[in-house]
């Protein structure tokens, strides 16, 4: 009886192995790709900060600066939809030199984010913001208008890279790629990376007389592909 059971178990195992071979194998590979291009647009953030005895007076003064900056930017050629409020805030200010805090006024801040699709206008945009009374400027960033198209190209290259890896693994294992089971895009793939002053000077390109420099915009894509093999 035990001998018959052992023979039956062996037959089941052989059958299972035969079915596994018939079903083939799966090879999972990850592929990444990057595409770099020169930027053709920039974004800049500028803030005006004014303190007055009342909130209303501070808001009025800030509003005048914002209106002036907006008008001059439009005259310069910046599109109205590319001039947006990044942040707005106000808070009381106190004098702490005495025994008790004394209210001295209110400070209002209004930040604008300006996008311009002509790198040659960077100096002019910065001058307009300063001349209009904006007190701070930061976050000068460069991008490319065709980033979505570049990402799709990088995505195709990433799938090709995954296939090359899978073919190498298949060959090493005595298998042959027969098809694709699934493709998973990594959601964080569509990211632009910017060169900065700490990177290789060869990559740097002067974009403004003020010394602001940009590097190539790098768009990356990453996928995981499961391949069928036999």
Q: Are residues 151 and 135 in the same domain?
A: no
Q: How many residues does the chain have?
A: 230
pLDDT digit string (tens) for 77-112? 999 999 999 999 999 999 999 899 999 999 999 999
Q: What's residue 211's pLDDT?
A: 60
Which of 115, 143, 171 is a domain's end point?
Answer: 143
Q: What pLDDT band is residue 68 in, cutting at 50, 70 and 90? A: very high
Q: Where residue 106 sits, what CATH number does that domain have?
A: 3.30.70.2970
Query: Is residue 114 a part of any domain in this protein?
Result: yes
Calculate ∠ Cα 95-96-100, nearest 5°: 105
**pLDDT over 70 for what percent of the chain?**
78
Please give the average per-residue pLDDT across 10-34, as a whole number: 65
Which of 143, 178, 205 is a domain's end point?
Answer: 143
Q: Are residues 83 and 168 in the same domain?
A: no
Please give the average per-residue pLDDT across 188-207, as a whole number: 39
Query: Is residue 1 a part of any domain in this protein?
Result: no
- Say whether pLDDT at 197 is over 80: no
Q: Are residues 56 and 131 in the same domain?
A: yes
213 vs 104, residue with greater confidence: 104
- Say whether pLDDT at 6 is over 60: no
Q: Are residues 63 and 117 in the same domain?
A: yes
Please give the average per-residue pLDDT across 16-37, as a whole number: 75
Q: What's residue 86's pLDDT?
A: 96
Q: Give residue 48's domain range.
A: 41-143
Q: What pLDDT band is residue 24 in, cutting at 50, 70 and 90? A: confident
Which of 125, 143, 161 is a domain's end point?
Answer: 143
Q: Are residues 118 and 192 in the same domain?
A: no
Q: Are residues 139 and 164 in the same domain?
A: no
- Say whether pLDDT at 207 is over 90: no
Query: Is residue 9 a part of any domain in this protein?
Result: no
Q: Are residues 69 and 127 in the same domain?
A: yes
Q: Are residues 66 and 30 in the same domain?
A: no
Query: Is residue 3 a part of any domain in this protein?
Result: no
Please give the average per-residue pLDDT across 197-213, as a whole number: 41
Q: Are residues 66 and 137 in the same domain?
A: yes
Please give the average per-residue pLDDT across 221-230, as a whole number: 96
pLDDT digit string (tens) for 76-86? 999 999 999 99
- Say whether pLDDT at 52 is over 80: yes
Q: What's residue 127's pLDDT?
A: 94
Q: What's residue 2's pLDDT?
A: 46
Q: Are residues 50 and 138 in the same domain?
A: yes
Q: Count of domains in the chain?
A: 2
Query: Is residue 224 a part of any domain in this protein?
Result: yes
Q: Which of 230, 228, 227 is nearest to 161 (CA)?
A: 227
**pLDDT over 90 for what percent of the chain?**
74
Q: What's residue 216's pLDDT?
A: 85
3-state secondary structure of 86: strand
Q: Are residues 193 and 134 in the same domain?
A: no
Count of CB atoms situated within 10 Å of the CB of 162: 25
Output the DSSP codes for the chain: -HHHHHHHHHHHHHHHHHHHHHH-EEEEEEEEEEEEE---EEEEEEEEEEEESSHHHHHHHHHHHHHHHHHHHHHHT--GGGEEEEEEEEEEEEE-SSSS-EEEEEEEEEEEEEEES-GGGHHHHHHHHHHTT--EEEEEEEE-TTHHHHHHHHHHHHHHHHHHHHHHHHHHTT--EEEEEEEEE-GGGBEEEE--TTS-GGG-EE--TTS-EE--EEEEEEEEEEEEE-
Q: Are residues 32 and 99 in the same domain?
A: no
Q: What's residue 215's pLDDT?
A: 77
């Amino acid at each position: 009886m035990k001998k018959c059971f052992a023979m039956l178990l062996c037959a089941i195992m052989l059958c299972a192995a035969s079915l596994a071979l018939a079903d083939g194998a799966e090879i999972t590979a990850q592929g990444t790709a990057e595409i770099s291009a020169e930027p053709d647009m920039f974004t800049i953030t500028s803030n005006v900060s004014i303190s007055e005895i009342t909130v209303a007076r501070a808001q009025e003064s800030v509003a005048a600066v914002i209106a002036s900056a907006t008008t001059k930017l439009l005259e310069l050629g910046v599109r109205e939809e590319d001039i947006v409020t990044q942040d707005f805030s106000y808070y009381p200010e106190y004098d702490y030199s005495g025994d008790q805090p004394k209210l001295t006024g209110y400070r209002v801040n209004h930040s604008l984010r300006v996008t311009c699709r002509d790198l040659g206008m960077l100096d002019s945009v910065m001058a307009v913001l300063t001349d209009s009374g904006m007190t701070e400027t930061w976050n000068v960033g460069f991008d490319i208008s065709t980033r979505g198209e570049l990402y799709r190209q990088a995505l195709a290259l990433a799938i090709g890279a995954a296939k090359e890896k899978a073919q190498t693994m298949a060959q090493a294992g005595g298998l042959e790629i027969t098809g694709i089971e699934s493709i998973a895009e990594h959601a964080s793939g569509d990211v632009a990376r910017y060169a900065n002053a700490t990177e290789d000077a060869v990559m740097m390109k002067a974009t403004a007389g003020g010394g602001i420099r940009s590097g190539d915009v790098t768009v990356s894509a990453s996928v995981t592909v499961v391949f069928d093999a036999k």
